[in-house]
Amino acid sequence: MVEYKWVALSNTTIGTLMAAIDATIVLISLPAIFRGISIDPLASGSFQYLLWILFGYSLVTSTLLVSFGRISDMFGRVRLFNLGFAIFTVGSLMCALTPSSGDLGATELILFRVVQGVGGAFLLANSAAILTDAFPARERGKALGINMTAAIAGSIVGLVLGGILALFDWRYIFLVSVPVGAFGTIWSYMKLKETGTPRRDQALDIWGNVTFALGLVLVLVGVTYALIPYGTSSMGWSDPWVVASMVAGIALLVAFPFVERKVPEPMFRLELFENRMFSASNIAGLLASVGRGGVQIMLIILLQGIWLPLHGISYQSTPFWAGIYMIPMIVGFTIMGPVSGYLSDKYGARVFATAAMLLTAGTFLALSFLPYDFSYPTFAAIIFVMGLAGGMFAAPNIASIMNAVPPEHRGAASGMRATLQNTGQTVSLAIFFTVIITGLSGSLPNALSAAMTNAGVPQLAGALSSSVSPTSALFAAFLGANPVASILAAPQLASVVAQIPKSTLAYLEGPKFFPTAIAPSFISALDLSFYIGAVLSVAAAVASLLRGDQYIHGETRKPGGGPENAQPKDG
C-alpha cells in the first residue's frame, strides 16, 4: 500500500501545478483572449482590462493567503485545501463559459478570475503545510522541492500550453483546468486526511483580517492603477486616487502589527519572526520574488513584441513560440528543484539558497549584455542557468521556513510565506513596468520619428510619435498588435497616406518596422530593470546568509549528531 506521505505529495503537487499553470497560461494568451472577446488592445480603456485580467488573480490570492492559512489551522488544512480544489475548478469553468464580449465580457472574465483566485488561495495556503505534516523533518526538503518544482515548472508549462491552446480557441485556456481540477477534487476528498490537530477553540481574528486584507488590497490596487496613464503623464503615480489608495493602504499595513499585538488570537503570528531562520528565510523569499517576479513577463514582451517578429514570426503565432523559447528555464528548474531539496535535508538551506541568489544576480547581468536581436543559443543558456538558480533557491528556502515553526502554526506560516511571495511578484511587475515605461517616455518619441524618417516618410513622423504613448508601445508589443496600421488608417492622414508608395506602406505595416523602431528604447529601459533585479537578488543572498545553520523546530541536535546549534528565538 502506498504510504500516505506520497499520496499527500502527489495530490498537493497536482493542485500546486494547476494553480501555477493558470497564473501564466493567461499571461501568454492575452492576445488571443483580447481577440476572442473583441477588445481592441490599442483602445484607450482597454489597458485597465489587461491589468485586471493579468493582476486580478494574484491580487486576490495575495490578499487571502494569510487569512486562509490561519483559518486552516483552526478548521483543518485538508478540508480547506479540498474546498480550494472545488472552487478553482468552478472558477475555471466559469472563465471558459464567459458569455459576453466587449467591455462586459472583459468584466465578467475578471470576476471569474477572482473566483479562481479564491480557490487558488486555499490551495497555495495549505499545500506546504499538508506536506510538512505528512513528511518527517529529514524528508521535507525533498518533498517541498518536488512541490515547488511543480509550482515554478507549472508557471513555465503555462507559457507553452497557453501558446498552443491560443492557436485554437481562447476558451481552451481555462477549460483545460476543469478535468484536472475535477479529478483533483475527487481524489483529495477521497485520499487526503487530517494529520494535524485543528484548533477550533481559537477565535477568528476579525480586526487583523480586515486591517491586513484591506491594506494590502489598497496598496496593490494603487500599484496596478499607477501603471495607467494619467493626464499628460505616461503613468498614474500622480493620480490623486492612486496616491490616496497607496497612503491609506500603507497606513493600514503599518497599523496591522499593532492590531495583532492586541488581539488574543492573531492571524499573523508575529512571534514567529523572533526565530531568525523563519524571518531571514521569509525576507530572502520576498526579495527574491520582487527581484525575479517581473522578469518572466519582460522576457515574454521582448520575445513576442520584438525578437520573434524580427525573425519572421507572425503576430498571431508569437504567443506559441514565446512559450516554446522559454522552455530552457523550466528545464533548469526541473533539474535543480528536487536535487536542492534533497541536499538541503542533509546540509541545510543556507549554502544552496545563498549561492542561488548570487547566481540569479549573475544571470540578470548577463541578460543586460544581450542586444535586442540576440543569438538564441546565448539567450537559452542564460535562462537555463536562471532556472537552475530558481530551483536551487525555492525548495531549501521554503523547507527552512516550514521547519522553523511548531506544528500548530504551519498553516499560518505557509500562508504568510505564500503571501510575501505573491505580493513580491505583484510589486515586481509594477517596478519593472514603471522602470520600462519611464525609460520609454524619454527616448521613444525621438526613436519613432527617426524610424519614420529613415523609412522615407518624414511627413508621418509627427503622427506616429504623438499617437503611440510609451504605455501603448509596451502593451502593443506584449499583445502582438501593430499600432502603425491603425494610425495610417486615421481619416485625417488619408491624403498623406495616398501619396506613399505601396511598397513603403507594406513595410510600415509589416512585422519588422514597429519592433525595429521601439527596440533600442525598450532594450535600454529593460537593462535598467535587469540591474534592479540583480541588486535585489544580491540583497536576497545576504538575507539568506543571515538565516544561520540548519534548524528544525523540536529537535535538539544537528544533522550528523552535532550539538544543538540554535534556539528558536535566534534561528
Residue 554 lies in a domain: no
Judgement on whether residues 218 and 101 belong to the same structural domain of the protein: no
Query: Of the given ranges (244-253, 317-326, 537-546), which has the lowest mean pLDDT?
Result: 317-326
Domain boundary among 266, 286, 316: 266
Most confident of 123-137, 138-152, 513-527: 513-527
- For the record, the C-alpha cell of 496 comes out as 498623406
Judgement on whether residues 192 and 279 belong to the same structural domain of the protein: yes
Q: Tell which residue, 172, 524, 128, 121, has the closest CA to residue 319.
A: 172
Residue 556 lies in a domain: no
Q: What's the pLDDT at 428? A: 82
- The residue with greater pLDDT, 364 or 31, is 364
How many alpha carbons lie under 13 Å from residue 51 in its C-beta half-sphere? Answer: 21
Residue 353 lies in a domain: yes
Judgement on whether residues 256 and 213 belong to the same structural domain of the protein: yes
Judgement on whether residues 107 and 181 belong to the same structural domain of the protein: yes
Q: Tell which residue, 118, 174, 147, 197, has the closest CA to residue 11.
A: 147
Q: What is the count of structural domains for the chain?
A: 3
Q: End-to-end distance of the chain based on CA atoms, in angstroms?
A: 38
Judgement on whether residues 88 and 162 belong to the same structural domain of the protein: yes
Packed helices 4-36 and 140-166: angle between N→C axes, nearest 10 degrees: 20
Q: CA–CA separation, 285 vs 357, rounded Å? A: 10
Residue 335 lies in a domain: yes
Domain boundary among 476, 502, 519: 519
Q: What's the pLDDT at 201? A: 62
Judgement on whether residues 432 and 448 belong to the same structural domain of the protein: no
pTM score, two decimals?
A: 0.76
Q: Note down the domain range covering 308.
A: 4-204+267-440+520-545
Q: What's the pLDDT at 568? A: 39
- The residue with greater pLDDT, 87 or 509, is 87
Q: CA–CA separation, 571 vs 567, rounded Å? A: 6
Judgement on whether residues 403 and 427 belong to the same structural domain of the protein: yes
Judgement on whether residues 55 and 162 belong to the same structural domain of the protein: yes
Judgement on whether residues 9 and 24 belong to the same structural domain of the protein: yes
Tell me the CA distances in angstroms from 267 to 70, 115, 123, 280, 358, one per residue in order.
5, 23, 18, 20, 34
- For the record, the C-alpha cell of 123 comes out as 490551495
Residue 558 lies in a domain: no
Mean residue pLDDT across the chain: 79
Q: CA–CA separation, 85 vs 126, rounded Å? A: 11
Q: What's the pLDDT at 36? A: 85
Q: CA–CA separation, 66 vs 80, rounded Å? A: 13
Judgement on whether residues 383 and 332 belong to the same structural domain of the protein: yes
Q: For 480-498, how does the pLDDT look when each residue is reduced to its tens digit (9 = 90+)?
A: 667 777 777 777 777 777 8
> Sorting pLDDT into bands at 50, 70 and 90, what band is 571?
very low
Q: Tell which residue, 534, 167, 210, 427, has the closest CA to residue 316.
A: 167
Q: CA–CA separation, 227 vs 233, rounded Å? A: 10
Q: Tell me, what CATH number does 427's domain have?
A: 1.20.1250.20
Residue 400 lies in a domain: yes
Q: For 158-198, how does the pLDDT look when each residue is reduced to its tens digit (9 = 90+)?
A: 777 877 887 788 898 888 888 888 888 888 888 887 766 66
Q: For 96-144, how does the pLDDT look when each residue is reduced to its tens digit (9 = 90+)?
A: 999 888 888 888 999 999 898 888 888 877 777 788 778 777 777 677 7
Q: What's the pLDDT at 555? A: 57
> Sorting pLDDT into bands at 50, 70 and 90, what band is 38?
confident
Q: Which amino acid is at 34?
A: F
Judgement on whether residues 279 and 221 belong to the same structural domain of the protein: no
Nearby residues of 149 by Cβ (< 8 Å), 6 or more positions away:
333, 334, 337, 338, 391, 394, 395
Judgement on whether residues 286 and 298 belong to the same structural domain of the protein: yes
Is the confidence at residue 369, as pLDDT, over 60? yes
Residue 561 lies in a domain: no
> Sorting pLDDT into bands at 50, 70 and 90, what band is 220?
confident
